Structure formats: C-alpha cells, structure tokens
C-alpha cells in the first residue's frame, strides 16, 4: 500500500508516517519548499527521513498537486496540511483560504482524474462548530464556524462530502478536536506551557504570559488520533465522517496547574496575563461526542490528559538540556 500525507513534517503527519511505516506502507509526504531549507521544520521526521519519500509541493497550485498525484499514485491520501492557527480577526484570510480550501479541491480533483480508487482523508476540526448551538457536538450538529480557519474547514468538508456522494470517491472527514503531544507546534497553548515550564524549571526564564486561562478545550493525544484517521480509510462500512475527541473538557488553568506540578512548582508565582493573547469572539464550549467512531471502528481516546502533560513537560526539559 502506498500512502501520501500532506504536511508530513507536522505533529500528526509525522506520527501517521511512523504508524503507516509500521504497517508496511510505502510512505510519501509533501513539504513546503521553505520548510526543506529549515532543519527545525524537519525535526519531527528526522528519524524516518531515509524511509519516506519527500515531495516538495505547493498545495496552492493545481499543476503542482496534479503532478504530485500522477507521480505518487497513492492508494490512500491523508490531507493534513493546513494553515492551522485559529484567529477570529480575519487577518490574512485570503492566504488561509488558498491554502486550506483550494488544496482540498485540487487534491480531490486530481484524485478523481488520475486515481479514482485512492481513499481520501480530510482533517476537519472542532472549529467547524464554532459558536455551536449544542454541546457536546456530534456528527449531526450544525456547523457555525466563527474563524476563517473554521470556515475553510467547513467548506472543504462539503467538497469532500460531494466527492463521496456524487463522484463515488472514498472520501471522508475526521472532525478532530484539539490533540497534543511533544511534537505540538510552539504556537499552541499546550506546547507554549510545557516549554515555558521547562524553561522556568531550568532557570532560563522567570515567567509565562498567557491569554484567557479560563478557556476550555477537549484535549486528546495526537498519536491516538492518527490511528483513527487510518481506521477511517479502512472502514468496513465504507466512507463516512466521524468526530474524533475525548468527550472531556479542561481549562487552560487546569493544564497550567498540572504542567507546573510536574516540576513541583506553583503556576501562580510565574503567570502574567497578557491581553494580546485573548481572542475576543471565542466560545468555550467545544466538546466532542465520539460515540459513533467507538461503535463503528472501536476507536476511543485512552491516554489521560495528566499523562500527556507530563510527557510534554519532561520532553521539553530534555530538549532544552540537550541544547535543542
């Protein structure tokens, strides 16, 4: 089996690549040209670099995507690449649309043309529910995205659905809630916290600045979420969309408290609240009901948030001690 992963060097892409290699897949992945020149952007795939085939591809360009599909000829395609930072101010919205929406259309159009039996996974997001009218959300909940990121994920969801229903392509969307790990990008709050705790513990810095610490999230463990993705493309029931979540919510304050407790410190002594990191239109009640994927595919989130936090903090301490 040959798999293509867009954004293979990201948190999810790299875990998925490792998982598929362990299942004897031939693994191909796309990376932006600019990332190939930057060692920091390749750190997640360093250990498997020789085992995978990297393609430099601009997903905003149809010809580039078409050539990619004709060259790789994948059996499974996991479209994970996206401009993924959520903001509600609509800054730089056209470039987010180009990256997130057009790439989905280009991939599906090329697959239909060149590899119509290729199965397609699209990485949806809880941000599609945005200002949700019900909580927890499930596969029937109405979308009401509030961020440009959420809008691009929702519009892509409908493209995927239409390729499935009208073009007979095996295409589906995993509506994943937040999922974290030691490979999380530093722009997200969990990694920002774990790295800051590590720096404070090692005496490199003396405080952490955050925005709304009462915000709550349904936080899972990334290495488990990529198994859900693979299961969805190997679903005996055929292609359908699933919520991928833990069904539990915790506040940023709770995360912070536990992260500091890993090194026996109290967060109150080191925390500064900075209004720059607040998101004005943010709603806090996004929590996923993943009973459908549990019933159909026997997938459920297992790792406790406490364990995820400990792994992240200890990993950041090791990285800093090693000068990485």
Residue 207 binds ligand G4F (CB under 6 A): no
Residue 215 binds ligand G4F (CB under 6 A): yes
Cβ distance to ligand G4F smaller for residue 57 or 148: 148
* E strand or H helix that includes residue 77: strand 76-79
- List binders of ligand G4F among 85-144 (CB under 6 A): 86, 125-127
Residue 212 binds ligand G4F (CB under 6 A): yes
Residue 311 binds ligand G4F (CB under 6 A): no
| Nearest distance in Å: CB 115, ligand G4F | 27
Residue 192 binds ligand G4F (CB under 6 A): yes
| Nearest distance in Å: CB 52, ligand G4F | 23
Could you give the C-alpha distances from 63 to 32, 66, 109, 160, 174, in angstroms and in order?
Answer: 15, 5, 11, 20, 27
- List binders of ligand G4F among 218-257 (CB under 6 A): 252
The three-point CA angle 109-20-152 to 5° equals 40
Size of residue set near ligand G4F by CB under 6 A: 23
- Any alpha helices (H) in the chain, and if so which ranges? 11-22, 33-36, 62-72, 93-97, 103-114, 148-167, 189-201, 222-233, 252-262, 291-297, 305-321
CA distance 176 to 245: 6
Cβ distance to ligand G4F smaller for residue 115 or 309: 309
- Any alpha helices (H) in 56-147, and if so which ranges? 62-72, 93-97, 103-114
Residue 177 binds ligand G4F (CB under 6 A): yes
Cβ distance to ligand G4F smaller for residue 170 or 225: 225
Under a CB-based contact definition with an 8 Å cutoff, are residues 70 and 43 in contact? Answer: no
- Note the residues at the interface with ligand G4F (CB under 6 A): 84, 86, 125-127, 176-178, 187-190, 192, 210-213, 215, 217, 252, 277, 279, 282
């Amino acid at each position: 089996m040959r798999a293509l992963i867009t954004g293979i060097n990201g948190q999810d892409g790299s875990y998925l690549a490792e998982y598929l290699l362990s299942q004897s897949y031939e693994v191909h992945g796309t990376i932006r040209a600019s990332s190939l020149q930057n060692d920091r952007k390749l750190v997640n795939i360093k250990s498997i670099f020789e085992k995978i085939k990297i393609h430099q591809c601009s997903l905003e360009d149809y010809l580039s995507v078409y050539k990619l599909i004709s060259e790789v000829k994948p059996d499974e395609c996991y479209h994970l690449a996206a401009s993924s930072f959520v903001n509600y101010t609509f800054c730089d919205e056209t470039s987010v649309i180009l990256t997130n929406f057009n790439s989905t259309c280009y991939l599906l159009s090329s697959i239909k043309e060149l590899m119509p039996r290729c199965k397609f996974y699209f990485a949806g997001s809880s941000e599609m529910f945005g200002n949700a009218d019900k909580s927890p959300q499930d596969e029937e909940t109405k979308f009401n995205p509030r961020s440009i990121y959420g809008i691009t994920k929702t519009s892509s969801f409908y493209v995927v659905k239409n390729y499935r229903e009208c073009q007979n392509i095996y295409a589906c969307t995993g509506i994943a809630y937040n999922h974290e790990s030691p490979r999380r990008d530093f722009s997200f709050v969990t990694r920002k916290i774990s790295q800051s705790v590590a720096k404070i513990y090692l005496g490199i810095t003396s405080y952490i600045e955050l925005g709304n610490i009462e915000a709550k999230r349904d936080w899972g463990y990334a290495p488990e979420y990529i198994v859900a993705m693979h299961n969805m493309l190997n679903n005996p029931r055929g292609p359908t969309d699933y919520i991928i979540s833990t069904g539990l919510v915790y506040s940023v304050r709770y995360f912070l408290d536990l992260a500091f407790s890993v090194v026996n410190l109290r967060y109150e002594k080191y925390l500064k609240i900075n209004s720059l990191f607040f998101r004005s239109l943010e709603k806090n009640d996004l929590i996923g009901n993943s009973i459908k994927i549990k019933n159909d595919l026997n997938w459920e989130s297992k790792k406790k948030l406490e364990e995820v936090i400990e792994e992240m903090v200890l990993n950041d301490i090791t990285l800093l001690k090693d000068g990485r």
